[in-house]
Structure 1
């Protein structure tokens, strides 16, 4: 099942992996999620699209020596006007750490750190509209902000993207909010507790799988490992895992679309 790219400002539209071992990443994600990888593009520092059944699901970028790059998954939020978004970011107490700049004819990108310290990318579409395969096994299906100051994060993203924010009640005392626009849920926000230790604020991307137990069973032979879960969510069973190079992401069992 394919889904049209999300067209709402503030919606997560893309994710890319920064890795220290591109070939190792191909083996791991190819084995776990049945992904294929385009050839590296020298115009963009070796960046390459990742695909599921020919449809784009995200990107992969090798660490460039001399640049401050860390292994991990980056989430990108859509903006139809990055210049206006940048003004709202600064006014709301955030920082633009990577200025708006063109990526060929594909679009414009920008990097932002919110007032609680979490980095997130921003994307103004050109020819590249975002992921083509979402909400179904093999693609992104959910995204979350992990922060130590939920109220401050809520205020910031409400000012930047006018998110509709709903606190999600639960019996575990977890401070969780769902962000949405136009009546559509787009992503979530979880307040980290002392149990998270020194883990910095960050965004987490979830990838859909048809059967969580089967996916987790593959991890050891592929060099990955389970770090939290499995746990139940309203959208399906999930687990947090890490790839062989240290990039953290989540898996969620879905059978249809949650986009």
Structure 2
């Protein structure tokens, strides 16, 4: 089992789902991934911790405000949130929520990159984020889907010093893999005309033991199957949506990449 005790700066370390109904989302993801979901907000449904075998892997937050949209939000680890947050606006992004302490957990901030995709920053104190990685029910990859590949590459590189490698052709398939000390940690995909109407966003991939089986169960649980399952060099995948159409990707990792 791939347990995590920490994350290097710039590594996706935690995910939270913004949803209009945490109880319904708990039922969906609990059935799909086997999550145990616990409301930590005195039965208000505003913050629900989701775990696999007692280890936190994700959280559900109650959507507030008419402009909020259901979706998965990624947090990037930082050992100094004040320094990282200060780099956001000088490099073309926008700081949406300044560094804030969560006593007993850590510090967070929320920002948007130059193309408008939002993301979080997380400084552990002592909560590191997901305690499992690349195990069924836990996150296994993240990528930013954007309309401006060069600007977004430069922005995140300025924040965390990623080594960025183009693995697509740079035209019809413009994809960069981001590495820290030689280890791949996330990626960037430039959206094409086929993505018309889709706003820039971070995509979360969750590992599953069998992609086809998991994908086939999604519609019956109230979600939707958007694309796949299909094979890739990084495993068998399917893009799906939960009952409120928050998108995410199911991934059966190749054997050599599994925990």
Question: Is the pair's TM-score, using the shorter chain for normalization, greater than 0.5?
Answer: yes
Q: Tell me if 1:55 matches 2:55.
A: yes
Q: Which residue of 2 aligns with 1:101?
A: 100
2:75 maps to what in 1? 76
Specify the alignment match of 1:221 in structure 2. 220
5+ long unaligned stretches in structure 1 = none
Structure 1 match to 2:251: 252
Partner of residue 155, structure 1? 154
Query: What is the SS of the residue equivalent to 1:7?
Result: coil
Aligned partners of 1:16 and 1:73 also within 8 Å: yes
Q: Distance in 1 between matches of 2:45 and 2:26?
A: 17
Residue equivalent to 1:4: 4
- TM-score of the pair, normalised by structure 1: 0.93
Note the alpha carbon deviations across 1:190-209, whole angstroms, 9 max, x for none. Answer: 00011101100000100000
Mean Cα displacement is larger for which, 39-48 or 222-231?
A: 39-48
Contact preservation (8 Å) 2:222, 2:242:
yes
Partner of 2:239: 240
Find the counterpart in structure 2 of residue 19 from structure 1. 19
Cα distance in 1, alignment partners of residues 222 and 173 from structure 2 = 31
Describe the SS at the equivalent of 1:73.
strand
1:169-184 correspondence runs (5 A) = 169=168, 173-184=172-183
Contact 1:106–1:128 (CA under 8 A) maintained in structure 2? yes
The CA RMSD measured in Å over matched residues stands at 2.0
Partners of 1:6 and 1:180 in 2: how far apart?
17
Q: Distance in 2 between matches of 1:258 and 1:163?
A: 24
Query: 1: distance between equivalents of 2:53 and 2:201?
Result: 29
Q: Which runs of 5+ in 2 are unaligned?
A: none
Aligned to 2:158, the other structure's residue is in SS state helix
Q: 2:172·2:192 contact (CA, 8 Å) conserved in 1? A: no
CA contact (8 A) 2:215 2:229 kept: no
**Distance across 1 between alignment mates of 2:162 and 2:14:** 18
Partner of 1:140: 139
Deviation per CA, 1:47-101: give whole Å up to 9, x if none. 121001111101111123x475321110100011111112221221111111110
Relative to structure 1, is the Cα distance of residues 3 and 46 closer, same or farther in structure 2, using a 3 angstrom cutoff?
same
Question: CA-to-partner distance for each residue in 1:11-33, whole Å, 9 max, x for gaps?
Answer: 00000111111121111111111
The answer to whether the Cα contact below 8 Å between 2:39 and 2:45 also exists between their aligned partners in 1 is: no
Tell me how far apart the structure 2 counterparts of residues 202 and 163 of structure 1 sit (CA, whole Å): 19
Between the aligned partners of 1:178 and 1:44, the Cα distance in structure 2 is 40
Distance across 2 between alignment mates of 1:257 and 1:193: 29
- Within 2, Cα distance between the matches of 1:219 and 1:13? 25
The answer to whether the 8 A contact 1:145-1:188 is kept is yes
C-alpha distance in 2, partners of 1:208/1:172? Answer: 29
State the alpha-carbon separation in 2 of the partners of residues 14 and 253 from structure 1.
Answer: 20
